[in-house]
Structure 1
Amino acid sequence: MEDIQVDPPQKGEVRIRILFTSLCHTDVTFWQDSLKLGLFPRIFGHEASGIVESVGEGVTEFQEGDHVLPVFTGECGDCRYCKSTKSNLCKKFRGDVKRGVMICDNKSRFSVRGKSIYFFMGSTFSEYTVVEQEYVVKVNRAAPLDKLCLLSCGVTTGLGSSWNFAKVEKGSSVAIFGLGTIGLGVAEGAKLSGAAHIIGIDTNPLKFDKARTLGVRECMNPNDFDRPIHEVIIGKTDGGVDYSFECVGSANVVQTALLSCHEGWGKTVVCGVEGGNKTVNSHPQLFLYGRTLTGTLFGGVKPKSELPTLVAMYMNKELQLDQYITHTLPFPQINEAFEFLLQGKSLRSWECYNIANSVVNAHFVHGLWKRQSIALGSND
């Protein structure tokens, strides 16, 4: 563990004291890609919750002490995308895994011994982080931040994909490929929408019990069958499901999910992130016969406009979050948490920052460099 310097927020930026951060496989995916891009050293982490410590010039939406969620995709509220009801993208402040500096001046707010450290979609593996105000969502102070951190990525992506983006109808059939946090979020959203038959597909049967508590009716392990899993699904659903969701991040699984859909109206939604250069190869006839292949970022949820609604649903016990947390660890054990994730032993592990003399444990990623962070005062 080392100390790093976190500079004051500049114009339009917010500095956040991170209290809880959970792990997402996307951090591993783009850690590996960053090795190829040369964006190192870099602070990873993007699913978190915390409290506003200070704000930069021109920031009026936030003030010191606000409870917030940093999010990886922003919302300016003014561009054509933000004003559209058809998309949750933002023209300027969208998720960008290749961006390693701040937008306003192309500089980083992190450094160690005078050397800059690159940014990554929030950089929440640090006690303090600095992000543009468009990537910050204010939340109800009465809501528990240790649970809300899950809404800043995985759960919202899954829940929104089925409930908000695909708009699964009552009585419909759904197949979910991958029963991690995103896949289980899809299941919870489909259940809220009234889906009649929710099938969960995963090669790890340890996930099946948890999946059933969140709405999955039937669990399948492709390794248990002597024929392709899409053929099994077609046989069980009278020609295929109405909706299928790819939640693994695999081009091959996208093809399988598409083949599992019913011709004429079946819709496949891509939710996972493929980090390599693999492509989906499908015959045009699959689409000529009425199937649809689409994808969504953050479940189609506009972060500032719609995340507070999900927080309210959780507070009203209409939405589950506690079920997704399988491990709770202090931050120095983040490598252990990543091992749980990579071995399929956890859904979400969140790390609690143990505050001591204003310096707490923080971490880059996957055992490369471990660091602590300190924040300079606004006048330093």
Structure 2
Amino acid sequence: MESSKIVRKITCKAAVAYGPGESLVIEEIVVDPPQKMEVRIKILFTSICHTDLGAWQGRNEAQKAYPRILGHEASGVVESVGEGVTDLKAGDHVIPIFNGECGHCVYCKSENTNLCGKFRVNPFKSVMVNDGKCRFSTKDGKPIFHFLNTSTFSEYTVLDSACVVKIDPKAPLNRMALLSCCISTGVGAVWNTAKVKPGSSVAVFGLGAVGLAVVEGARAVGASKIIGIDVNPDKLAKGQKIGLTDFINPKLIDKPVHEKVKDVIEGGVDYSFECAGNLDVLREAFLSSHDGWGLTVVLGVHPSPRLLPLHPMELFDGRKIVASTFGDFKGKSQLPDFAKQCMDGVVKLDEFISHELPFEKINDAFQLLIEGKSLRCLLHL
């Protein structure tokens, strides 16, 4: 690769957040070249996750660094690589991942975790690992902070190579963007974390994109009963298309949700998944699982300082609770095969994209998510 290609800066458009709740500003920014073990990517598609929404609204103190480029669910093409990067080259089709994998640390070498000692998801991180600096700046030279190892609301972004996954160039990039977060998180929680067995019963609390990805994962492994719980009645039709067998709207029942679940499945479900980021919902999910062997998997982001709504003695009844990060997928080593499974139709992606808009309409896409009208709005750059 020509060195001039590596060293030049790029001026491009990005959606910049200047403060919590303020409309994102589409403006020209400067993107520096990738440094050692970094990659610069041309983003072709990106979408908006509830984590982006929560960060934009300022719900989590750890995410209040401004100005900032949000976004973490995307796909694109490698534009250039920095010194030392050998597994990626210009032109490669890639997806960014917020939970990186260096492949060398004690964590990456362990089969018991998908966390990396250096590049795991970290909401406090807003600069690059190499030098503690930003690779984005305004046209007058002021730094613009990074977000979740990715910052995909930009025509070009710079990531640590540990956070870039090369995929089959035949894979449709407009669908592969979903593997950056929601699909991998939800399906992986079923396949890797819970290891849901065929014929078992599942309850999913919160039917956003991650919750519906849990439904899809449960359908794909042959769960016999998949119960969806959500206060939005519109989620019933969407869930049924993906694989729901039953639906409970907590606003329309006169008893606790866990009791209603046990009306559907005697004793409770084998597996429950909490995808709402609400501790009261988490308790209902826990109580919905079957006495003796039920497993509850936590997927929702919980910014509240409240602690787990459980008494230690309740765990002696045999129920278990565990959290899942990025569906327990090791991103760089396992996601390429998962992408192939999606291409082969094992996991269906089309139902998850409810809207498509040009990148300049990103504030409209945020509003669709706020109003509960969109599942995933795919933005074209």
Q: Are residues 1:108 and 2:131 paired?
A: no
Residue of structure 1 equivalent to 2:55: 30
Which segments of structure 1 move beyond 3 Å, counting only runs of 4 or more? 33-38
Q: Are residues 1:70 and 2:90 paired?
A: no
CA distance in 1, matches of 2:205, 2:62: 28
**Contact 2:217/2:347 (8 A) holds in 1:** no
**1:30 Cα deviation after fit:** 2.3
Q: Specify the code of the residue in structure 1 equivalent to 2:356.
A: T
CA distance in 1, matches of 2:279, 2:47: 26
Q: Are residues 1:88 and 2:114 paired?
A: yes
Q: Secondary structure at the match of 1:81?
A: coil
**1:164 Cα deviation after fit:** 1.8
CA distance in 2, matches of 1:64, 1:235: 56
**1:175 Cα deviation after fit:** 0.3
CA distance in 1, matches of 2:33, 2:132: 15
Question: Paired residue for 1:160, among 181, 188, 191?
Answer: 188
CA distance in 1, matches of 2:60, 2:258: 34
Residue of structure 1 equivalent to 2:41: 16
Q: Are residues 1:61 and 2:61 paired?
A: no
Residue of structure 1 equivalent to 2:147: 120
Q: Specify the code of the residue in structure 2 equivalent to 1:150.
A: L
**1:236 Cα deviation after fit:** 2.0
Residue of structure 2 equivalent to 1:364: none
Deviations 1:68-92 (A, max 9, x none): 0000000111222212222111111
Q: Are residues 1:169 and 2:197 paired?
A: yes
**How many equivalent pairs are there?**
353
CA distance in 2, matches of 1:110, 1:250: 34
Unaligned 5+ segments in structure 1 are: 354-380
Percent of aligned pairs with the same amino acid: 52
TM-score (norm 1): 0.91
Pick closer, same or farther for the CA change 1:216–1:71 going to 2, 3 Å. Answer: same
Pick closer, same or farther for the CA change 1:34–1:255 going to 2, 3 Å. Answer: closer
Residue of structure 1 equivalent to 2:252: 224
Unaligned 5+ segments in structure 2 are: 1-25
Task: Describe how 1:270-349 pairs up with structure 2 within 5 A.
Answer: 270-349=298-377
Q: Specify the code of the residue in structure 2 equivalent to 1:149.
A: A
**Contact 1:310/1:319 (8 A) holds in 2:** no
CA distance in 1, matches of 2:374, 2:247: 18
Q: Secondary structure at the match of 2:192?
A: helix
Deviations 1:218-252 (A, max 9, x none): 01101111011111112221111110000111122
Question: Paired residue for 1:198, among 226, 231, 234?
Answer: 226
- Of the structure 1 ranges 29-38 and 115-124, higher mean CA displacement relative to structure 2 is found in 29-38
Q: Specify the code of the residue in structure 1 equivalent to 2:41.
A: I
Residue of structure 1 equivalent to 2:10: none
**Contact 2:357/2:379 (8 A) holds in 1:** yes
Deviations 1:133-174 (A, max 9, x none): 000000111111011000100111000001221000111110
Pick closer, same or farther for the CA change 1:233–1:37 going to 2, 3 Å. Answer: closer
- RMSD in angstroms over aligned alpha carbons? 1.2
**Contact 1:177/1:257 (8 A) holds in 2:** yes
**1:35 Cα deviation after fit:** 6.3
